[in-house]
Structure 1
Amino acid sequence: MTLTKKYLRKVSKVLALHSSIRWLHIGCDEVFHLAECSRCERMVRDTLRSGEVATGWAAWAAMDEKLYVFVEHVKRVAKFVKEETSHRVSPIIWDDMLRRAPPGALRSSGLGDDLVEVMVWSYAEDASSLVPPRLWRAYSPFRHLWAAGAFKGAYREDANLPDLGRRVSATLSWTALLRRLGKSRLLSDQNNLRGFVLTGWSRYDHFAVLCELLPPSVPSLLLNLLLLRSPPPGSSPTLQQTTLDSWLRFLSCPDGVGRMTPKALYADENYWASAIEGCSFPGANALEATRRWPTLMAEAAIAEDTAERVGWLTEWHARRGFSSPWRVSKALQRETAMERELKRYRAETGRILSQYISSSAAEEWLQQKVDPVIERVEKMVMWARELVKKETWKRRTLSVPNSGANTNSKHS
């Protein structure tokens, strides 16, 4: 069975499971490796020579084989979705693979023949930098378009929390862009733009680490929805204090808790998370646990750095079993306390996250974020415990057999 057939079987299962849907997003973004194998190259050449491809589309396909392979795959999947659902479900695709295609190629490809609806996405603080007006003109063959921004998962691959200032700026830039497009008649048909989607990615791709989780990102989702529901006026809209006040009310913040200005929100990417401590919304405890992690990680790093920098608890000392037990005992107290704190945090956070997400996802987050720090602290504790046991020491100069380094130098 070919990969395409396996994929179509999965699509069929999704359609069967969600029998009442009107749209199905079939992805198709960021196809970095396309038409690179000899099989693809041969298939393209043979197909174009056969005369089976419409003349107009064949001419464009001959100039851009990658575009041809991409479009033909999308058409096959889209037609499958249409036929499986008696044309009740409309397939949606991301737009980025079409951005460099000439308008003539898009018109000739057949994609715009009511096959797919295109979702134009930009997560940049200036949406128009990625999707300028010329792109919307190029998408004129498509009867329906969507727009998409993000409330999380769009800034840094290993982020713990959304940068709310960036997310707000991006959404506001979208509202301004759509307003300009409407006035310029590029979106004059009210049915042309289906709607706006707020994405919330949890990892950048299938193999990537987890980024912002959904539970602690609920405040970002809420604030961006408020901005989309009631966009500020003007060509350069700004976040209004009234919107922030509504946001805090929806988060069930007690009087006096969470009060902030737009300027404060933008000034520090982490300020918002500490400002709404004490508010009662779904995911509040997950936000508090996630917010604590960078601080705890920094404390562990400082303790580790201090232990090594003061000069008695380094890997050099541990490898040689050579240090001052009195000096090391002080570091041992600090590192042992830090080890207890980290393990307590791990247990508590695991319980909290498991209230909202699968236990495997919670465990993955802990293994990626917390466990490496615990392991480093455990190593320091192990070194210290061995060193404080010492009652006799070798004379200098010291060396360690098979250390992989020249330990007999004048600096040993």
Structure 2
Amino acid sequence: MSGSSPFGMRVVHLDLKGAPPKVSYLSEIFPLFHALGANALLIEYEDMFPYEGHLKLLRAKHAYSPSEIREILHLARQNELEVIPLVQTFGHMEFVLKHDAFAHLREVAIFPNTLNPHEAESLALVGAMVDQIMELHRGVRWLHIGCDEVYYLGEGESSRQWLQQEHNSKARLCLSHVRAVASHVLARHPTTTPLLWDDMLRDMPEDLLEESGVPQLVEPVLWDYGADLDVHGKVLLMEKFRKCGFPRQWAASAFKGATGAHQALTPIEHHLRNHLQWLRVAWAGPAGALQGIVLTGWQRYDHFAVLCELLPVGIPSLAICLQSLLQGGFSDEVKDRVESCLGVASLDITDFTREGAGSFPGGDILALVMQVSLYLRSSVGALLDGNRYVAGWFGPYHRRRKVIHPVMVQHIQPGVLSLLARWGTLVQELEAALKRVFFPDAVEEWLEENVHPSLQRLQGLAQDLSEAAAPFSPAGQRPDQAGPLRTHGDPTTRQGPENTWGPPTLMP
């Protein structure tokens, strides 16, 4: 079945620096990964790894324990998924360099992104991280050492002084650190090959890459997540790397987390097109030039960014992309296979929001997230900003002063309370579903970013309305009016096409 795929290794990336799943969920999802055609995992632990000793402060609150790491590896073996651990060793070191104990190792003092490559302590730090990860991953064939987006490199004081010397350059500085890290990996773990992202190497001169010795130490992972990926340009880059001496190369696509830092729903068509372009690259390049492809699934753009699509939300995209890679393209057979694996009645890659929940692990989360993402903000906005009763009789001026015509309470309040009850029930269901898969801090973060702002607007309106209506007791009391309230008689008697009174339509 996989004979039509040019990628021998199909690697699913688990980005654990945001919303890391509980091991119980991984036990449910790994069999699906295998069934869809994956045969490896790239696990980017970041602060979820159980570092020990002086590195213990790197652990997140809910970091996996050593026994949980062993359980993850056992589950991967059970499902024929080879594990490739990833540890950042140069750029994207925020989870390390944000701590006061390591802040002095920043390339630029105010930015925790990049490690200072001139400090001996920097290499010692990276070496300790690598060794602790390898201790729990003995025998792995590859270790990914990151090295992408090394922002501010060369801008620190030590680097500026170093760059003033003849023949020195930022490219040489980068290669020197990569060579040191890769050499450490190979010296301590000679059967493990380092991988690294290719972006810092792309524009380097061929002769500099060749003379650095780096091509003999690492295998580059060429990443591009665009739907309009330049096939010819990628083939030329592969040829450049081959000429420089890199014996093997990898590709990296994206199945989620690459179309917006605050993206909540995954645009499947974009990611499918990205994978179809990578297939074209593999066929256009030298036969067997690409060892495999990493299907990245970013959970944050960096350590300090907000969450993008949750893993369960991206599963339909992953399924389509994996099956398309396996079959050598997208077809009715791919569509049917994905529908069967996910328990989805009918799949539409341009508008998957019509498909329903699906029976795959986390399918309930996808269905509930779709409701929130597509309708919560719009329904609350329609009520607060588009409803004629609210806009005409209970706008900001009147809300601050808790002033309202008593007839308007009857028109506004039932709809507000109904909408609040409906969303309250759905959000409770979503929170329970999220807690089955994720740790409490991730659930809290996602709800605060995606749910609470709209619910708080709605709750604020309900509270203001309740306080404004309170003075209308059976005794007929009236509120103190802080401003004019001209209703021209009973507004419910005013008829006409633009003034037809009736219950508002709040939500589809």
Q: TM (normalized to structure 1)? A: 0.81
Residue 123 of structure 1: which of 199, 212, 225 is its match? 225
Deviations 1:260-316 (A, max 9, x none): 5xxx533xxxx22422x2532122111111111122332122112135763222221
What whole-Å deviation, never above 9, does each CA across 1:142-180 have from its counterpart, x for those lacking one?
A: 111100101111112111221111111110111011101
Give a deviation string over 1:239-280, Cα, whole Å, max 9, x none. Answer: 322221121122234xxx21x5xxx533xxxx22422x2532
Q: Distance in 1 between matches of 2:312 and 2:255?
A: 12
Q: Which amino acid is 2:158 matched to?
A: R
8 Å Cα contact 1:273-1:287 kept in structure 2 = no
2: CA distance between counterparts of 1:387 and 1:307? 18
Q: Deviations over 1:206-247 (max 9, x none)?
A: 111111111122221111111111103xxxxxx322221121
Q: Report the equivalent of 1:207.
A: 304
- Structure-2 separation of matches of 1:132 and 1:36: 30
- Closer/same/farther in 2, CA of residues 395 and 296 from structure 1, 3 Å limit: closer
One of 13, 19, 26 as aligned partner of 2:145 = 26
Measure the CA separation in 1 of the matches of 2:208 and 2:124. Answer: 27
How many pairs were matched up? 356
Letter in 1 for 2:464: W
Q: Which residue of 2 aligns with 1:394?
A: 481
Note if contact 1:148-1:196 (Cα within 8 Å) is conserved in structure 2.
yes
Does residue 1:292 correspond to 2:292, yes or no?
A: no
Give the counterpart letter for 2:251 in structure 1.
A
Q: 1:78 and 1:220 mapped to 2: Cα distance?
A: 34
Distance in 1 (CA, whole Å) between partners of 2:414 and 2:484 is 29
Unaligned 5+ residue runs, structure 1? Answer: 50-58, 182-186, 233-238, 399-412
Task: Output aligned runs, 1:262-301, within 5 Å.
Answer: 265-266=349-350, 271-275=351-355, 277=356, 279-293=358-372, 294-301=374-381
1:14-59 C-alpha deviation (Å, 9 max, x unpaired):
11111121111111111222111222111344xx56xxxxxxxxx4
Q: Superposition pairs for residues 193-342 of structure 1, below 5 Å?
A: 193-232=290-329, 239-253=330-344, 257-258=345-346, 260=347, 265-266=349-350, 271-275=351-355, 277=356, 279-293=358-372, 294-307=374-387, 310-342=391-423
Report the residue type matching 2:146 in the other structure.
G
SS at match of 1:310: helix
**Distance change >3 Å, CA 244–CA 386, structure 1 → 2:** same
Matches of 1:304 and 1:223 in 2, distance apart?
A: 39
1:136 paired residue among 238, 254, 258: 238
Return the alpha-carbon distance in structure 1 between the equivalents of residues 357 and 316 of structure 2: 13
Q: Distance in 2 between matches of 1:152 and 1:11?
A: 27
Deviates more, 1:387-396 or 1:152-161: 387-396
Contact persistence 1:307–1:313 (CA under 8 A): no
Q: Name the CA shift for 1:375/1:146 in 2 (closer, same or farther; >3 Å).
A: same
C-alpha distance in 1 between matches for 2:446 and 2:386: 27
State the distance in 2 between where 1:283 and 1:130 align: 38
Tell me how far apart the structure 2 counterparts of residues 339 and 4 of structure 1 sit (CA, whole Å).
55
| Distance in 2 (alpha carbons) for counterparts of 1:68 and 1:325 | 75
Secondary structure of 2:448 counterpart: helix
1:395/1:92 CA distance change after superposition, 3 Å: closer
- Asked if the contact 2:299/2:308 (under 8 Å) is kept, the reply is yes
Alignment of 1:50-65 (within 5 A): 59=167, 62=168, 65=169
Moved more, 311-320 or 204-213: 311-320
Name the counterpart of 1:147.
251
Residues in 1 aligned to 2:418 and 2:181: alpha-carbon distance in whole angstroms: 57
More displaced stretch, 168-177 vs 330-339: 330-339
Distance 2:198 2:430 in 1: 38
1:394 maps to amino acid: Q
Q: Which amino acid aligns with 1:314?
A: G
**Aligned counterparts of 1:205 and 1:12: Cα–Cα separation in 2:** 24
Once the two structures are aligned, what percentage of the paired residues are identical? Answer: 29
* CA distance 1:95–1:316, shift in 2 (3 Å): same
Mean CA deviation greater in 197-206 or 66-75:
66-75
Whichever residue aligns with residue 180 of structure 1, its letter is: A
1:131/1:383 Cα in 2 relative to 1: closer, same or farther (>3 Å)?
Answer: farther
C-alpha distance in 2 between matches for 1:319 and 1:395: 10
Corresponding position of 1:106: 209
| Higher mean C-alpha deviation, range 322-331 or range 97-106 | 322-331
Distance 1:101 1:395, change over 3 A: closer
Q: Which amino acid aligns with 2:331?
A: Q
Higher RCO, 1 or 2 (CA under 8 Å, sep at least 6)? 2
Structure 1 residue 72, shift from structure 2 partner: 1.5
The reply to whether residue 172 of structure 1 matches residue 259 of structure 2 is no
Q: Aligned partners of 1:284, 1:392: CA distance in 2, in Å?
A: 50
How far did residue 337 of structure 1 move?
Answer: 2.3
- Opposite residue 297 of structure 1, the aligned amino acid is R
Q: Using the alignment, how far apart are the partners of 1:313 and 1:129 within structure 2?
A: 57
